Amino acid sequence: MRPLRPSLSQSLRALPQRRAYATPTAAPVSAPQAGGTSSPALYCKSLVQRLDYSAFLASYFYPPPLRDGYFALRALNIELATVKDSVSRELIGQMRMQFWRDSIRAVYEGRPPQQPVALALRDAMRRAPIPEDLIQQMIDARDEDLTSSTPPTLESLHSTLSSTSTALLHLQLSLLTPSLPPSLEPHLPLFKSALSHIGLSTGLATLLRALPYNASKRRMVLPADLTAAHGVVQEEVFRFGGDLPGEGKEGLRNAVWEFATEANDQLIAARGEMGILKGERVPREVMPVFLAAVPTQSYLSRLESVDFDAFDPSLQVRHWRLAWDTWRTWRRRDF
């Protein structure tokens, strides 16, 4: 009989030696027809609605004047994240990344190219100071991912996720910053720190959700040290998916459990920093950004319910409660 895996809700207590502290590689899809350069905001909104539905749900809780900027940032993230699977050669992907570097630089110089996401970012900058360095950081990280193989360790993933999932949340916070009351300005470092944890958690959970897809492309998102520790043979995962022969299936589930535990620990750490564990509430003015934790918690809970079988088909279906959970989290101002 295999040993019982601890519940994720007990992860920090069950693993006291652990440190307390996101975006999948998506299949290429055709761009939406709505909008384009004639209506950049509509283009971005349509793109997010089709390819990042949980982010689309969160948009309803942003102040109306800032929603177009929010969609612009999320659309940029989609554009960058899908490059790897939308090109046939690594060199073409690098050229696409260089296009985005040049385009973002041009946006900040006041001469954006006739590309809907770039035009939408130009419009967003007129309402809020969006840091260029964070966007360029995202591009550089996605560019490096074009040539990256299996991550060696969990820790090695943190740098990449800090430059992608976390940077994106910090950009979203920058949209809200100009409208914050003076009383909240001293707390910005705290908000950024908590969002860093959520960004890592979101990135890790997203990689887990994309494990079946990446395995079908002969890519392993679980770190090498993790698979080795649990006796998981990558080639078997590529060939059999979740139905590994012998003890391989149990080893894969244990590796997924450890990976998911890290993602959950990051959420717990974010809650601790924001005082959620002591009954405090997130200020309503910044709560929209913290809604990013909702789909992550939802996925981790569902993953636990199927005994950490990341290949379970139910995990690839949009959860029917996601809209309700997003609204409830907004009302309660926790996560």
Kindly give the confidence (pLDDT) of every residue in the chain, 335 residues in length, as a single tens digit, with 9 standing for 90 and above: 344 466 776 565 443 333 333 344 444 444 445 667 789 999 999 999 999 999 999 999 999 999 999 999 999 999 999 999 999 899 999 999 999 999 999 999 999 999 999 999 999 999 999 999 999 999 999 999 998 888 999 999 999 999 999 999 999 999 999 999 999 999 999 999 999 999 999 999 999 999 999 999 999 999 999 999 999 999 999 999 989 888 899 999 999 999 999 999 999 999 999 999 899 999 999 999 999 999 999 999 999 999 999 999 999 999 999 999 999 999 999 99
- Whole-model pTM? 0.90
Q: Please, are residues 282 and 227 in contact by the beta-carbon 8 Å criterion?
A: no
Q: How many Å apart are CA 263 and CA 204, to the nearest integer?
A: 6
Determine the pLDDT at residue 35: 64
Query: What is the SS3 assignment for 211?
Result: helix
CB 58 within 8 A of CB 292: yes
CB atoms within 10 A of CB 237: 23
The CA distances from residue 65 to 123, 128, 170, 175, in Å, are 11, 11, 19, 10
Distance CA 255, CA 32 (A): 37
- The answer to whether residues 137 and 199 touch, using CB atoms and an 8 Å cutoff, is no
Token pair 């009989």 is found at 1
